[in-house]
Chains A and B, each alone.
Chain A
Amino acid sequence: GAVVSQHPSWVICKSGTSVKIECRSLDFQATTMFWYRQFPKQSLMLMATSNEGSKATYEQGVEKDKFLINHASLTLSTLTVTSAHPEDSSFYICSARETVNQPQHFGDGTRLSIL
Protein backbone atom coordinates (compact mmCIF):
# COMPACT_ATOMS: atom_id res chain seq x y z
CA GLY A 1 0.00 0.00 0.00
CA ALA A 2 0.82 3.74 -0.05
CA VAL A 3 2.31 3.88 -3.53
CA VAL A 4 3.25 7.21 -5.08
CA SER A 5 4.09 7.36 -8.78
CA GLN A 6 6.11 10.20 -10.29
CA HIS A 7 6.51 10.84 -14.00
CA PRO A 8 8.72 11.34 -15.88
CA SER A 9 11.66 9.79 -14.07
CA TRP A 10 14.18 11.59 -16.24
CA VAL A 11 13.99 14.57 -18.59
CA ILE A 12 16.50 16.58 -20.57
CA CYS A 13 15.45 19.79 -22.24
CA LYS A 14 16.77 23.01 -23.65
CA SER A 15 17.11 26.18 -21.64
CA GLY A 16 13.97 28.32 -21.78
CA THR A 17 11.47 25.50 -22.09
CA SER A 18 8.87 24.52 -19.49
CA VAL A 19 8.73 21.08 -17.93
CA LYS A 20 5.79 19.45 -16.17
CA ILE A 21 6.23 16.71 -13.56
CA GLU A 22 3.31 14.60 -12.36
CA CYS A 23 2.85 13.01 -8.95
CA ARG A 24 0.07 10.49 -8.36
CA SER A 25 -1.03 8.60 -5.28
CA LEU A 26 -2.10 5.22 -6.68
CA ASP A 27 -3.85 3.51 -3.80
CA PHE A 28 -4.87 6.28 -1.43
CA GLN A 29 -6.31 9.76 -1.50
CA ALA A 30 -3.71 12.40 -0.74
CA THR A 31 -5.13 15.44 0.99
CA THR A 32 -1.66 16.94 1.07
CA MET A 33 1.23 16.65 -1.38
CA PHE A 34 4.73 18.01 -1.03
CA TRP A 35 7.46 18.89 -3.52
CA TYR A 36 11.14 18.61 -2.65
CA ARG A 37 14.41 19.28 -4.34
CA GLN A 38 17.55 17.26 -3.62
CA PHE A 39 21.12 18.09 -4.58
CA PRO A 40 23.84 15.42 -4.56
CA LYS A 41 24.82 14.38 -1.05
CA GLN A 42 22.47 16.93 0.47
CA SER A 43 19.23 16.60 2.34
CA LEU A 44 15.80 16.97 0.82
CA MET A 45 14.70 20.60 0.79
CA LEU A 46 10.98 21.29 0.85
CA MET A 47 9.87 23.59 -1.94
CA ALA A 48 6.13 23.74 -1.39
CA THR A 49 3.13 22.13 0.25
CA SER A 50 -0.19 21.76 -1.54
CA ASN A 51 -3.61 20.78 -0.32
CA GLU A 52 -6.22 19.55 -2.75
CA GLY A 53 -8.22 22.41 -4.18
CA SER A 54 -6.08 25.10 -2.54
CA LYS A 55 -3.15 27.24 -3.59
CA ALA A 56 0.25 25.83 -2.75
CA THR A 57 2.28 27.22 0.14
CA TYR A 58 5.85 27.92 -0.94
CA GLU A 59 8.94 27.86 1.25
CA GLN A 60 10.98 31.00 1.62
CA GLY A 61 13.23 31.55 -1.37
CA VAL A 62 11.20 29.43 -3.79
CA GLU A 63 9.85 31.43 -6.73
CA LYS A 64 6.12 30.88 -7.10
CA ASP A 65 6.07 32.04 -10.71
CA LYS A 66 8.88 29.69 -11.68
CA PHE A 67 7.65 26.56 -9.92
CA LEU A 68 3.93 26.28 -10.59
CA ILE A 69 2.12 23.71 -8.48
CA ASN A 70 -1.37 22.39 -9.11
CA HIS A 71 -3.20 19.93 -6.88
CA ALA A 72 -6.49 19.57 -8.72
CA SER A 73 -7.56 16.19 -7.33
CA LEU A 74 -6.94 13.94 -4.35
CA THR A 75 -4.63 11.74 -6.40
CA LEU A 76 -2.71 14.14 -8.64
CA SER A 77 -0.37 17.07 -8.20
CA THR A 78 1.81 18.64 -10.87
CA LEU A 79 4.94 20.76 -10.71
CA THR A 80 5.74 22.89 -13.74
CA VAL A 81 9.19 24.41 -14.00
CA THR A 82 8.69 27.41 -16.24
CA SER A 83 11.40 28.83 -18.50
CA ALA A 84 13.90 26.37 -17.08
CA HIS A 85 17.59 27.24 -16.95
CA PRO A 86 20.67 25.11 -16.16
CA GLU A 87 20.59 26.16 -12.50
CA ASP A 88 17.18 24.46 -12.22
CA SER A 89 18.81 21.11 -12.96
CA SER A 90 18.22 18.88 -9.95
CA PHE A 91 16.42 15.85 -8.56
CA TYR A 92 12.79 16.72 -7.82
CA ILE A 93 10.80 14.43 -5.52
CA CYS A 94 7.16 14.53 -4.55
CA SER A 95 5.46 13.01 -1.55
CA ALA A 96 1.87 12.44 -0.59
CA ARG A 97 0.08 12.04 2.70
CA GLU A 98 -3.41 10.71 3.30
CA THR A 99 -4.14 12.42 6.61
CA VAL A 100 -2.26 14.61 9.04
CA ASN A 101 -1.50 11.56 11.22
CA GLN A 102 0.01 9.52 8.40
CA PRO A 103 3.63 9.61 7.21
CA GLN A 104 4.60 11.08 3.86
CA HIS A 105 5.16 8.55 1.08
CA PHE A 106 7.54 9.49 -1.68
CA GLY A 107 7.70 9.03 -5.42
CA ASP A 108 10.89 7.89 -7.10
CA GLY A 109 11.85 11.37 -8.21
CA THR A 110 12.49 13.15 -11.50
CA ARG A 111 16.02 13.86 -12.65
CA LEU A 112 15.81 17.18 -14.55
CA SER A 113 18.72 18.29 -16.72
CA ILE A 114 18.57 21.64 -18.51
CA LEU A 115 21.07 22.14 -21.31
Chain B
Amino acid sequence: EDQVTQSPEALRLQEGESSSLNCSYTVSGLRGLFWYRQDPGKGPEFLFTLYSAGEEKEKERLKATLTKKESFLHITAPKPEDSATYLCAVQAGNTDKLIFGTGTRLQVFP
Protein backbone atom coordinates (compact mmCIF):
# COMPACT_ATOMS: atom_id res chain seq x y z
CA GLU B 1 0.00 0.00 0.00
CA ASP B 2 1.29 3.46 -0.93
CA GLN B 3 2.05 5.48 2.17
CA VAL B 4 3.60 8.78 3.26
CA THR B 5 4.88 9.51 6.77
CA GLN B 6 6.09 12.93 7.83
CA SER B 7 8.20 13.79 10.87
CA PRO B 8 8.32 15.54 13.17
CA GLU B 9 4.63 16.29 13.63
CA ALA B 10 5.50 19.74 14.98
CA LEU B 11 8.70 21.76 15.08
CA ARG B 12 9.50 24.96 16.94
CA LEU B 13 12.53 26.94 15.82
CA GLN B 14 14.17 30.16 16.81
CA GLU B 15 14.55 32.60 13.94
CA GLY B 16 17.80 31.73 12.14
CA GLU B 17 17.92 28.16 13.50
CA SER B 18 18.20 25.84 10.49
CA SER B 19 16.55 22.42 10.47
CA SER B 20 15.12 19.67 8.27
CA LEU B 21 11.69 18.09 7.82
CA ASN B 22 11.43 14.45 6.80
CA CYS B 23 9.04 12.69 4.43
CA SER B 24 9.34 8.90 4.24
CA TYR B 25 7.40 7.12 1.55
CA THR B 26 6.55 3.73 0.12
CA VAL B 27 5.04 3.79 -3.34
CA SER B 28 4.84 1.44 -6.28
CA GLY B 29 6.77 3.31 -8.94
CA LEU B 30 7.32 6.92 -7.91
CA ARG B 31 6.09 9.34 -10.52
CA GLY B 32 6.74 12.43 -8.45
CA LEU B 33 7.13 13.71 -4.90
CA PHE B 34 5.59 17.06 -4.08
CA TRP B 35 6.10 19.58 -1.30
CA TYR B 36 3.40 22.06 -0.40
CA ARG B 37 3.05 24.77 2.23
CA GLN B 38 -0.33 25.25 3.90
CA ASP B 39 -1.27 28.25 6.03
CA PRO B 40 -4.18 27.97 8.51
CA GLY B 41 -7.56 28.06 6.78
CA LYS B 42 -5.98 28.07 3.33
CA GLY B 43 -5.32 25.58 0.57
CA PRO B 44 -1.83 24.14 -0.01
CA GLU B 45 0.64 26.25 -1.96
CA PHE B 46 2.91 24.37 -4.36
CA LEU B 47 6.64 24.48 -3.56
CA PHE B 48 8.55 21.71 -5.37
CA THR B 49 8.29 18.58 -7.47
CA LEU B 50 11.06 15.97 -7.32
CA TYR B 51 11.13 13.08 -9.76
CA SER B 52 14.20 10.92 -9.12
CA ALA B 53 16.68 10.03 -6.40
CA GLY B 54 19.49 12.53 -6.13
CA GLU B 55 17.42 15.43 -7.38
CA GLU B 56 17.49 18.71 -5.42
CA LYS B 57 15.49 21.92 -5.76
CA GLU B 58 15.82 25.25 -4.00
CA LYS B 59 13.61 28.25 -3.42
CA GLU B 60 14.74 31.06 -1.15
CA ARG B 61 15.41 29.49 2.28
CA LEU B 62 14.01 26.09 1.29
CA LYS B 63 15.82 23.16 -0.30
CA ALA B 64 14.21 19.82 -1.09
CA THR B 65 16.14 16.60 -1.65
CA LEU B 66 15.06 13.10 -2.64
CA THR B 67 16.33 9.57 -2.08
CA LYS B 68 14.69 6.25 -2.93
CA LYS B 69 12.97 6.12 0.44
CA GLU B 70 12.59 9.67 1.69
CA SER B 71 12.70 13.36 1.02
CA PHE B 72 13.99 16.17 3.17
CA LEU B 73 12.91 19.78 3.23
CA HIS B 74 15.81 21.81 4.59
CA ILE B 75 15.05 25.24 5.98
CA THR B 76 18.04 27.55 6.26
CA ALA B 77 17.95 30.51 8.63
CA PRO B 78 14.14 30.48 8.89
CA LYS B 79 12.07 33.59 9.50
CA PRO B 80 8.73 33.90 11.32
CA GLU B 81 6.95 34.12 7.95
CA ASP B 82 8.09 30.57 7.22
CA SER B 83 5.70 29.37 9.92
CA ALA B 84 3.16 27.03 8.27
CA THR B 85 2.32 23.38 7.85
CA TYR B 86 4.49 21.68 5.26
CA LEU B 87 2.88 18.82 3.38
CA CYS B 88 4.56 16.06 1.39
CA ALA B 89 2.70 14.04 -1.24
CA VAL B 90 3.62 11.26 -3.64
CA GLN B 91 2.16 10.19 -6.93
CA ALA B 92 2.47 6.59 -8.03
CA GLY B 93 3.42 5.84 -11.60
CA ASN B 94 0.07 4.44 -12.68
CA THR B 95 -2.35 6.95 -11.12
CA ASP B 96 -3.31 10.61 -11.01
CA LYS B 97 -3.79 10.43 -7.28
CA LEU B 98 -1.65 12.32 -4.74
CA ILE B 99 -1.18 10.61 -1.38
CA PHE B 100 -0.51 13.16 1.32
CA GLY B 101 1.25 12.90 4.63
CA THR B 102 -0.24 14.56 7.69
CA GLY B 103 2.29 17.39 7.55
CA THR B 104 4.83 19.05 9.80
CA ARG B 105 3.58 22.12 11.64
CA LEU B 106 6.49 24.58 11.75
CA GLN B 107 6.60 27.55 14.10
CA VAL B 108 9.46 30.04 13.87
CA PHE B 109 9.82 32.48 16.75
CA PRO B 110 11.62 35.84 16.54
**A residues within 8 Å of B by Cβ?**
2, 4, 6, 32, 34, 41-44, 46, 49, 59, 93, 95, 100, 103-109, 111
Contact = CB atoms under 8 A, between A and B. Distances in A.
A42 B102 contact: yes
Interface string B30-44: 001010100001111
A21 to B, nearest CB: 12
19 contacts: A4-B43, A34-B98, A44-B44, A44-B87, A44-B100, A46-B98, A49-B97, A93-B43, A103-B34, A103-B49, A104-B34, A104-B98, A105-B46, A106-B46, A108-B42, A108-B43, A109-B42, A109-B43, A111-B41
Nearest to A91: B41
Interface of B: 4, 32, 34, 36, 41-46, 49, 87, 89, 96-98, 100-103
Contacts of A44: 44, 87, 89, 98, 100
Contacts, number: 49
Interface of B is mostly: strand
A105 B89 CA distance: 13
B102 A41 contact: yes
Contact of B96 (A2, A4, A32, A106): A32
B41 A107 contact: no
B21 to A, nearest CB: 15
A7 to B, nearest CB: 13
Contacts of A106: 36, 43-46
Given A43-B87, A43-B103, A44-B87, A103 B46 contact: yes
A2 B44 CA distance: 13
A95 B46 CA distance: 11
B43 A104 contact: no
Contacts of A111: 41
A17 B45 CA distance: 31
Among B32, B43, B102, residue most surrounded by chain A Cβ atoms (within 10 Å) = B43
